[in-house]
Amino acid sequence: MIVLVTGGARSGKSTFAEKYAAHLGQAGVYIATAQAFDEELQERVARHRERRQQSAFCWETIEEPHALADVIRSLGQQDELAQKQAVVVVDCLIVWLTNWLIQYEQERAFERTLAQVDELVAAVQDFPGTILFVTNEVGDGLVPEYPLGRMFRDLAGLMNQRMAAVADQVFLLTAGIPLEIKSRAFRF
């Protein structure tokens, strides 16, 4: 099962994804995509890690800023994951997308980053277990003034659309309240 959890900044997406994972499985694998380059982000990562450690749910954390598709393929091949009835949470797709966009900024960034998105979508579709993705809605605001900002907004929108298309469930969070906007039962 593929679940996409989206919403604005500080809307409660990560907390909801962690609680939903605990509801769905017996253990969790948390794939963190952030690269903590500054003190503020290091503190944010520490708070997320501490919250998971304080829960009654058993989490294993994998830090991977780029090779997300490879990690998902590898986890999908592990019998141990199925035996533990483990649920995978990826937090956050927007950070992962940013990591690639920054890496490719000077060389065909749009096409190369979108290719990474397509590789991830393919890996997810082959994943045999339950996986939850946390992402942000970034297109609800103003049009960015600079080209890289517009490229980021466009790529984020395309990535979220492609992930939502393959997801069995999609939740939109606002003010900590989840609203299921796509269910496994609803199909065109």
Catalytic residues: 48
Measured from the Cβ of residue 179, the count of other Cβ atoms closer than 10 Å reads 10
Report the phi/psi class of residue 112: left, alpha or beta, with left for phi > 0 and alpha for psi in -120 to 50: alpha
- Euclidean distance between CA atoms 60 and 77, whole angstroms: 17
- Euclidean distance between CA atoms 121 and 63, whole angstroms: 19
Closest CA to 93 of 52, 154, 34, 44: 34
Query: One-letter amino acid identity for 5?
Result: V
Half-sphere exposure of 56 (CA within 13 A, CB side): 4
